[in-house]
Amino acid sequence: MAVIVTTSPGFGKHGRVPDLIAERGWELVRCDDAAKPDGGLSEHLRRADVLVVGLIGADGATVAQGPGLKGVVKHGVGVDNIDIPACTAAGLPVCNTPGANADAVAELAVGLMFSMARAIPQGHASVVSGGWDRRVGTQLGGKTLGIVGLGNIGKRLAKLAQGLGMTVVASDKYPDTAFAETHGIEMLELDAVLARSDYVSLHVFGGADNAALIDAAALQKMKPTAGLINLARGEVVDLDAVAAALAADRLGAVAIDAYVSEPPDTAHPVFSHPRAVFTPHSGADTAEAVENVGLMVIESIDALLAGDPPPRCLNADDLAAR
């Protein structure tokens, strides 16, 4: 019986995925105990055939505890919490699930724009508390959306925004110029995107390269009425700078779904600001997306257990060169 160890709370729970795991006869071991620094990985990795990574990551010391590991699979897209060189050195393929949750994240970005434009959370709070605080909002049609990171999610979001009558501009370190030209998206440097946009939506990877990408200097370049959306990683945005910009009316609103630590410390002043909207890292949390991600993970596990080259292997070339 293959042993699949996972740090993802959602893997194996949705759609067809539980039945497929049962059909294969795998033992699924969950290591998502918040009371333990590694979620409990150290107690089970020695038996693991495959590690499925969620928010608790995998570094060299982690994979060294799994002598029988055949590979590491991310239950999602971002692999900034997986030490890929360490996995390569250990001979372990690393796979992820690009595109599986792109529609879900893009739709939440649109929802957060509507929430900011029409003060939906504030209106709800007013009515249920017995008030009647009617606010004049703004429409999304005719506004400019700046997408930072025009990958799978950014591309889906661009199409949705254009369907609402928005103009889309974008920045990307490795731009897909063919897609941009086909869909009438102007590719710009980051500073120009910030200056032009009524809403800025972040869809970049985490890690050192993008740490504090949106800091005080970046916020100064944005319109004082603009809305900022972070559906990327918590470290991409400097929360201190965001709180200061909101307090000084140099930022119209902010919507955040990803945090440096999760759950976040809500004592931070940004969490009490009336023009801030928060969701619990739920961008990918739709039944359809979670099932799609799970199915792609199973496909990778099947290949790893069979000794075949797994699909969407991020270090295939480096492994081949060993």
Which two three-digit tokens encode residue 298?
A: 């199973």
Residues 6+ apart with CB under 8 A from 129: none
One-letter amino acid of 249: D
What do you get for the CA distance between the two ends of the chain, in Å? 30
| C-alpha 34: how far from chain center | 20
> What contacts 24+ positions apart, CB below 8 Å, involve 209-212?
210/235, 210/236, 211/235, 211/236, 212/236, 212/237, 212/238
Tell me if residue 262 is catalytic.
yes
From the candidates 14, 75, 196, 233, which is the catalytic residue?
233
- The strand pairing partners of 200, in sequence order, are 146, 228
Tell me if residue 273 is catalytic.
no
Tell me if residue 233 is catalytic.
yes
From the candidates 262, 275, 299, 322, which is the catalytic residue?
262
Assess contact for 245 and 269: CB atoms under 8 A.
no
CA atoms 205, 211, 216, 217: torsion sign: negative
From the candidates 14, 30, 203, 281, which is the catalytic residue?
281
Residues labelled as active-site residues: 233, 262, 281
